[in-house]
């Protein structure tokens, strides 16, 4: 029912009031956590060349920000913990849980320079997405409709500063999001995976790190198509450079033999993860076709 004609409509909320209302939501603190990851991670990589003491604080703050963000999204998704196997399985297969546990591990062990890259990349896109969809409209109401009208009109349409920023963020994210995910997958498999093994062999990191990290990769391989694609890309690259007839002639035969044995073992593990029945029945290894 319409209000009485003598009753005045409530005045529109000011920008500060809208911002305060936004800041009371859990998603705002999810964004803050990702902002901490992005800023602290960037500062870490800027200061890392000048020594650990100048960078370690940023490294740990970045992972604390990641823990806040992932904990919020997990709680919003599943609510309080439940003591049953179905609930536990839902957690195990959730990538947010997997990355929360991974962030805990990286926070616990000696800092490794390569581990923050995926978290910083993910946080960059999360920060841009939330800023565009929630923060800018709070500070500049109507900007979403303005950008949509300009998109429908096509061509060069005059936009406000907020509209130009929002449109740039949307176009940039659309262009680079999927390529960034593909490269992050390769980074996780090849760079971080190799770094953890070399770190353990040189006693620079705990011997527990490689098996724990490869358990993370195992879960990602089972439930993430981009991760499986990343494994295939890494294998294609290594096959080209380490196996005949395209291998570099300077590569020792013992290295080629060791690589082939390791590759075939990992392919078997991958087959067992994706299709246990087919692997047990002697189907050809994944990716050889």
Write down the pLDDT at residue 275. 63
Tokens describing residue 282: 């002697």
pTM attached to this predicted model: 0.86
Write down the pLDDT at residue 155. 58
By the 8 A CB rule, do 224 and 234 touch? Answer: no
Write down the pLDDT at residue 75. 94
Q: Which stretches of the chain are DSSP H helices?
A: 15-23, 26-47, 52-78, 85-92, 95-108, 116-130, 136-139, 143-153, 161-186, 193-201, 209-223, 225-242, 253-274, 276-280
By the 8 A CB rule, do 184 and 121 touch? Answer: yes
Write down the pLDDT at residue 274. 67
By the 8 A CB rule, do 220 and 227 touch? Answer: yes
Write down the pLDDT at residue 160. 85
Taking the C-alpha atoms of residue 36 and residue 53, their distance in angstroms, rounded to an integer, is: 19
Q: In the chain, where are the structural domains located?
A: 15-177
- pLDDT tens over the chain, length 289 residues: 433 333 443 445 788 888 899 999 999 999 999 999 999 999 999 998 887 777 899 999 999 999 999 999 999 999 888 888 888 888 888 999 999 999 999 999 999 999 999 999 999 999 999 999 999 999 888 887 878 887 777 756 778 888 889 889 999 999 999 999 999 999 999 999 999 999 999 988 999 999 999 999 999 998 888 899 999 999 999 888 888 888 888 888 888 888 888 888 888 877 777 666 544 444 433 333 3
Taking the C-alpha atoms of residue 238 and residue 185, their distance in angstroms, rounded to an integer, is: 16
Phi-psi region of 141 (alpha: psi -120 to 50; beta: other; left: phi over 0): beta
Write down the pLDDT at residue 180. 95
Residue whose entry in the numeric block shows the structure tokens 């176009």: 171
Write down the pLDDT at residue 2. 38
């Amino acid at each position: 029912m319409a209000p009485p004609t003598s009753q005045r409509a409530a005045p529109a909320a000011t920008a500060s009031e809208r911002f305060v209302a936004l800041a009371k939501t859990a998603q705002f603190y999810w964004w803050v956590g990702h902002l901490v990851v992005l800023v602290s991670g960037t500062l870490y990589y800027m200061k890392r060349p000048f020594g650990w003491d100048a960078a370690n604080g940023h490294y740990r703050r970045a992972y604390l920000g990641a823990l806040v963000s992932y904990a919020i999204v997990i709680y919003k998704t599943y609510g309080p913990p439940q003591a049953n196997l179905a609930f536990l399985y839902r957690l195990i297969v959730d990538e947010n849980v997997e990355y929360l546990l991974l962030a805990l591990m990286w926070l616990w062990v000696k800092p490794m320079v390569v581990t923050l890259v995926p978290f910083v990349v993910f946080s960059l896109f999360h920060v841009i997405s939330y800023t565009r969809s929630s923060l800018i409209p709070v500070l500049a109401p109507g900007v979403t409709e303005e950008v949509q009208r300009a998109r429908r009109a096509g061509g060069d349409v005059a936009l406000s500063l907020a509209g130009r920023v929002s449109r740039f963020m949307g176009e940039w994210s659309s262009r680079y999001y999927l390529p960034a995910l593909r490269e992050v997958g390769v980074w996780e498999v090849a760079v971080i995976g190799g770094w953890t093994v070399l770190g353990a062999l040189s006693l620079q990191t705990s011997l527990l790190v490689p098996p724990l990290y490869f358990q993370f990769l195992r879960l990602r391989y089972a439930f993430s198509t981009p991760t499986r694609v990343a494994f295939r890309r890494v294998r294609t690259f290594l096959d080209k450079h380490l196996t005949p007839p395209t291998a570099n002639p300077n590569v020792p035969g013992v290295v080629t033999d060791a690589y082939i044995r390791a590759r075939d073992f990992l392919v078997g593990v991958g087959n067992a993860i994706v299709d246990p029945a087919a692997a047990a029945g002697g189907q050809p290894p994944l990716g050889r076709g």
